[in-house]
Amino acid sequence: MRLADHFGETPLARIDQAAVDAAALALYPRATPATRNRQVYSPVSAILKAAGAADGLKRPKGARGTRRLFWLTPEQASAL
């Protein structure tokens, strides 16, 4: 809802990279790039694609988050 409130009645043609970057910083000033990607860039990209508007949004550096490696012991795997 925050994203819809931010853009309001803004025409899709006026939503460009600068507008999305500004929205991400305004709505989530202390969030990580991965959070901004999930909360702003992905939904805006989906809306633009669904509307047939050009979607050339560049994601912020670090948008993929931090890679983590997990493994299970045989006992943990069998407990699942």
Give the model confidence (pLDDT) of 5-31 as tens digits: 999 999 988 999 999 999 999 999 999
Report yes or no on whether pTM surpasses 0.85: no
What CA–CA distance (Å, rounded) separates 39 from 75? 37
Q: What per-residue confidence (pLDDT) applies to 18?
A: 93
Q: What per-residue confidence (pLDDT) applies to 7?
A: 92
Helix then strand count (H, E) for the chain reads 5, 0
Q: What per-residue confidence (pLDDT) applies to 23?
A: 95
User: What's the token pair of residue 27?
Assistant: 């709505």
Q: Who contacts 56 (Cβ-Cβ below 8 Å, separation ≥6)?
A: 17
